[in-house]
Structure 1
Amino acid sequence: MNGVVGAILPLALGVAVSPIPIIAAILMLLSPRARSTGLGFLAGWVLGIAVAVVVFTLLAALIPPASDASKPVAGVIKIVLGLLLLVLAARQWRGRPRAGQTPALPKWMAAIDSMTAARALAIGFLLSAVNPKNLLMAAGAGVEIGSASLDGGQATIAIVVFVLLASSTVAVPVIGYLVASARMKAPLESMREWLVHNNATVMAVLLLVIGVVMVGKGIGSF
């Protein structure tokens, strides 16, 4: 159990430090409908992460157990996921803004000021459950949990730990804003500026590290 939780923590961190959803949450908290859109986005973000990791956990549980301590099928899956993360890392690095260049943000962010809570929920769900990078992280966590021969209670605990950590960086600013909205505006704006300019670099380094770790774990499964 402890080994599984330790293995999924880096993957949860990879989801948690995704700059785009954090930027989106901050922009919603700075919009006229801050409370409704912020809570809607957080609900969608958490739901998407939970659905993705549960689905991959159930799929991984279908992998037939090996006759010895090795887990070749799970190992191959981990290696493939790790290689895909390395490809995403390379794309992020090549796409990073050069000095003096203003980073481009998704076009849908321009409509955040007029966004409803329902649309914010849908966007949060799509960013967490459909985004390729997050899907790979959730798949990696699901393989770790589903192939570890845990009972139902232990698997549930591992999934809850993953979801809580992965959603924490969106939850903290939303909850902080609800508690002290006036004092949070300046820190949120500063955080948004930093994330906008360092988005690609942060993600490239993170995906590189997690991709290498995932490949290493896959090799170790043989």
Structure 2
Amino acid sequence: MLGELIPLALVVALSPVSIVPAVVLVLHTDRPRPTGLAFLAGWLIALAVTTAVFVRVPDLIDGFDESPPWGPWLRIGTAAAAAMSPIAVAFYTILAGSTVIAPVLAYVVAGHRVDSQLERVRDWMQREQAGVIAVVLLVVGVLLTYTGIRAL
């Protein structure tokens, strides 16, 4: 089951939407350590809470007398989350948040010595955003297709 979560977590982890803000906050704020740590804490809490909420959605749909028309689609979309244990939620949260954890903790440990590396990462992510997203979605699509076929 944890193997099925890896592609989903990679989509979140490798998205420039998660990496670039973390790097920018560390590089371009007056107080990068507290700002980066606050962003990191908020990001991980949001991932965990959102995942935990979606784990419960199928139970909420079952509570309706008549299933809403969007109910089956929601069940399909949350099928992986429905079977998640607290350990799986933690695994997913850490993996999905790993690309935010890495630059923030690198700055906390090494300070301004990592500025040039973080600048290069940010510039590369902004420049290659479309290619990165295309490759990540292709890999995820292949893994999800494989998982679906294997479940037949």
**Partner Cα distance (1:203, 1:163) in 2:** 20
**Partner Cα distance (1:182, 1:206) in 2:** 30
Query: Deviation at 1:58?
Result: 1.4
Q: 1:8 maps to what in 2?
A: 5
Matching residue within 11, 16, 21 for 2:18: 21
Query: Deviation at 1:48?
Result: 1.5
**Partner Cα distance (1:58, 1:205) in 2:** 31
Query: Deviation at 1:62?
Result: 6.1
With over 3 angstroms needed to count, the CA separation of the structure-2 counterparts of 1:12 and 1:217, relative to structure 1, is same
Q: 2:40 maps to what in 1?
A: 42
**Partner Cα distance (1:60, 1:46) in 2:** 23
CA RMSD, aligned part only? 2.4
**Partner Cα distance (2:149, 2:112) in 1:** 51
Q: 2:107 maps to what in 1?
A: 177
Number of residue pairs aligned between Structure 1 and Structure 2: 141
CA contact (8 A) 2:48 2:89 kept: yes
**Partner Cα distance (1:197, 1:213) in 2:** 26
1:99-110 equivalences under 5 Å are none
Q: 1:159 maps to what in 2?
A: 89
Q: Deviations over 1:125-156 (max 9, x none)?
A: xxxxxxxxxxxxxx4xxx2241x4x7xxxx01
CA contact (8 A) 2:12 2:18 kept: no
Name the one with the larger helix percent: 2
**Partner Cα distance (1:47, 1:184) in 2:** 26
CA contact (8 A) 1:20 1:199 kept: no
Q: 2:65 maps to what in 1?
A: none
With over 3 angstroms needed to count, the CA separation of the structure-2 counterparts of 1:169 and 1:36, relative to structure 1, is same
CA contact (8 A) 1:17 1:169 kept: yes
| Structure 1 residue identity aligned to 2:124 | W
Unaligned runs of 5+ in 2: 63-71
Identity %: 41
1:194 paired with 2:124, answer: yes
Q: 1:144 maps to what in 2?
A: 80
Q: 2:57 maps to what in 1?
A: 59
Give the TM-score normalised by the residue count of structure 2: 0.80
Query: Deviation at 1:209?
Result: 2.7
Q: Deviations over 1:184-222 (max 9, x none)?
A: 111101111111111111112212332343345445545
Query: Deviation at 1:14?
Result: 1.4
Query: Deviation at 1:17?
Result: 0.7
| Structure 2 residue identity aligned to 1:144 | A
**Partner Cα distance (1:39, 1:21) in 2:** 14
**Partner Cα distance (1:41, 1:217) in 2:** 33
Query: Deviation at 1:167?
Result: 0.5
Q: 2:67 maps to what in 1?
A: none
**Partner Cα distance (1:55, 1:11) in 2:** 16
